[in-house]
Amino acid sequence: MVLKDKRQIEKNKHFFQSVGHALEGIKKLILEERNFRFDLIITVVVLCIGLLMRIEIYDWLWLFAAFFSVIGSEVLNSIVENVVDLIVGHHFDLMAKRAKDIAAGGVLLSAIFAMIIGALIFIPKFVELLK
């Protein structure tokens, strides 16, 4: 059933309807979440460096694991922030702060993981180039 103002209130009826909502969510992330855009830019830069350095397939696998770890945790962090803001509104709440801080910590942990992966892959390549 659809309300008069065309807002959907029932479950998606078709796969493509679900895909449309998912794409709308990605669009919101890109337009509204600065850190998500930053993560995408870093991903593109690292992809270009990987292509230039002709890294091996197993290195690509690790890099993509790192990319999606960071991007996925950033998505989850955005979800937590939006749900917390929906619940508490514009009022300070210590538990809301705690939830947001923990979600942000998850992003930081995945970013550290990605930096370690990047260092393990690229530092030896750069050292090899300098020889």
Q: Cα separation of 60 and 29, whole Å?
A: 25
Q: Cα separation of 87 and 96, whole Å?
A: 9
Q: Name the active-site residue from 24, 32, 74, 128.
A: 74
Residue 10, annotated as binding a ligand: no
Helix 15-32 to helix 57-88 angle (10° resolution) is 80
Known catalytic membership, residue 24: no
Residue 24, annotated as binding a ligand: no
Residue 33, annotated as binding a ligand: yes
Residues tagged in the binding site annotation for ATP: 33, 81, 100-101
Residues tagged in the binding site annotation for substrate: 74
Active site residues: 74
Residues tagged in the binding site annotation for a divalent metal cation: 33, 81
